[in-house]
Structures are given as structure tokens and as C-alpha cells.
């Protein structure tokens, strides 16, 4: 399975411009024959909790049909970060577009205390994707909740895909946590982070991959957009 991490700089609140950016990165992933591309947390709007209610969209929003067409044409699974409409508050979600299949949704089930005034947690479930359901999805704070990775391992996941929005002050801890997950559960572990400003603070990039020994084997820098493609 060839997995692509997309490290982008979302334009805050500009869904149309961010869709175009996502499409360009998906095209690059297809050109490199990737089977899956993962974007950062809330990549379609930028990570802006105070604007989540305003920016939230329906999972079946027609503006996102372009991703299904790309998934079908390029035979690629696309995981896009979006704030989704919910009750009483929006969810932090990954919308998943798989070739020739209906789009699906994974909503962050473990929220950081700072997120609870702005978001509603998703249902307790393990989201598995891939040809043999071998890849588990995680969203940011969930990597710090041991039961999340444990549940993925218990379901037989061999790959752990974390979509995050991490600042510089949190990146070292995230690296340690993801290395621990990889080593403890024998899962190849991926982190897609963003760059640029989010909620008034600069995101740290450094999207990366850890092998099953917990060794970091691929990494981007802290300020530029880019791709990691890992087979």
C-alpha cells in the first residue's frame, strides 16, 4: 500500500481555494501511483475552533463531489479534514472518498478539553480503511489517548494514520507518542500535519512516518508544503 501524506497550508475559512489546493495535491499523489492520500486536521477550512460553527458543512456537500471523481479516476482513497455539521456542535471529521464507493465519515471521538466548547465528539468506533481494512484513522488529540491506538490494534490494524494540527510546542510530544504507538503495536504510523497559522498560532509541519520499530523513517520540514510518499 503506497500512502501519501499531504502537508499543506490551508487558507483560513476559504473552502473553495482549499478544495483547489487539495485537488492539486491529489493529482500529484495519483502521478506517483499512491493508493491513499491523507490531509491534516480540518484541512479544508484550517484549524479554527472559534469559526467551526460558521464553517461546518454537510458530509454530502456537492462541492466535495470533485474528490469522488478524483478517487474514481485515479483509483485512490482521499481523506480530507472537515468540520461537519452536528448537534449541538460541529464534529472534527475526516471525509473519506474511496474508488467506486459512497463517501464515508470518521469523526474525532476524543476531544481535547480546549475543543469541547466548540465541537461535539463522534461515536466510539474504530475507522478502518484500505483493501484489507488494515489502516486505522486517528485525529490529533486521539494519539494521546492510549485506548484509541489499542482499539485499532485489537481490530487488526497494521497501519495508523494520524491527521493532526500540531503547533511547535506540541510536536515533540506528538513525535514521542507516535513512535511509541508504532513500536508498541507494531503498526507503521503516519502523521499528516499542516503549516501556516491556525487559531492564531503557527503549525509545525514535520509530517512524518515511523516504522514498526518506532523509528522515524521519513519527515518533512517545519514550514513548507510538500508530500511524503511511503510504500
Tens digit of pLDDT for each residue in 121-153? 998 888 899 988 899 999 999 999 999 999 999
* pTM score of the predicted model: 0.96
Q: What band does 108 get if pLDDT is binned at 50, 70 and 90?
A: very high
H or E element that contains 69: helix 65-74
Domain count, the chain: 1
Question: Mean pLDDT score of the chain, rounded to an integer?
Answer: 96
Spatial distance between the Cα atoms of 93 and 109, rounded to a whole number of angstroms = 9
Tens digit of pLDDT for each residue in 179-207? 999 999 999 999 999 999 999 999 999 99
Tell me which of 70 and 123 has the higher pLDDT. 70
The radius of gyration of the chain from alpha carbons, rounded to an integer in Å, stands at 16
- Domain of 8, in residue numbers: 3-230
Q: What band does 92 get if pLDDT is binned at 50, 70 and 90?
A: very high
Spatial distance between the Cα atoms of 197 and 208, rounded to a whole number of angstroms = 20
Tens digit of pLDDT for each residue in 15-43? 999 999 999 999 999 999 999 999 999 99
pLDDT of residue 126: 87
Q: Hunting for cell 491527521 — which residue is that?
A: 163
pLDDT of residue 73: 97
206 CB-near residues (< 8 Å, 6+ apart): 171, 175, 193, 219, 220, 221, 222
Beta strands 77-84 and 91-97: pairing type? Answer: antiparallel
Spatial distance between the Cα atoms of 195 and 178, rounded to a whole number of angstroms = 19
Q: What is the end-to-end Cα distance of the chain in Å, rounded?
A: 6
Beta strands 128-129 and 135-139: pairing type? Answer: antiparallel
Q: Hunting for cell 463522534 — which residue is that?
A: 122
- What's the CATH number where 166 sits? 3.60.110.10
Q: Is the dihedral of CA 91, 36, 186, 41 positive or negative?
A: negative
Q: Hunting for cell 479516476 — which residue is that?
A: 73
Amino acid at each position: 500500500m503506497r500512502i501519501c501524506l499531504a502537508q499543506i497550508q490551508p487558507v483560513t475559512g476559504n473552502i473553495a481555494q482549499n478544495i483547489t489546493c487539495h485537488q492539486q495535491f491529489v493529482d500529484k499523489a495519483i502521478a506517483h501511483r499512491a493508493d491513499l492520500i491523507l490531509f491534516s486536521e480540518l484541512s479544508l477550512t484550517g484549524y479554527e475552533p472559534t469559526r467551526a460553527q460558521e464553517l461546518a458543512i454537510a458530509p454530502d456537500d456537492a462541492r466535495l463531489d470533485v474528490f469522488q471523481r478524483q478517487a474514481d479516476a485515479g483509483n485512490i482513497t482521499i481523506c480530507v479534514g472537515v468540520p461537519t455539521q452536528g448537534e449541538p456542535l460541529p464534529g472534527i471529521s475526516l471525509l473519506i472518498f474511496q474508488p467506486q464507493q459512497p463517501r464515508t465519515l470518521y469523526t474525532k471521538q476524543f476531544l481535547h478539553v480546549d475543543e469541547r466548547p466548540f465541537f461535539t465528539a463522534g461515536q466510539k468506533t474504530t475507522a478502518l480503511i484500505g483493501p484489507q481494512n488494515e489502516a486505522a484513522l486517528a485525529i490529533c488529540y486521539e494519539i494521546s489517548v492510549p485506548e484509541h491506538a489499542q482499539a485499532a490494534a485489537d481490530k487488526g490494524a497494521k497501519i495508523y494514520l494520524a491527521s493532526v494540527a500540531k503547533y511547535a510546542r506540541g510536536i515533540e510530544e506528538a513525535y514521542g507518542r507516535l513512535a511509541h504507538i508504532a513500536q508498541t503495536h507494531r503498526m507503521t504510523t503516519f502523521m499528516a500535519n499542516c503549516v501556516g497559522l491556525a487559531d492564531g498560532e503557527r503549525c509545525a509541519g514535520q509530517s512524518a512516518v515511523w516504522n514498526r520499530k518506532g523509528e522515524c523513517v521519513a519527515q518533512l520540514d517545519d514550514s513548507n508544503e510538500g508530500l511524503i510518499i511511503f510504500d
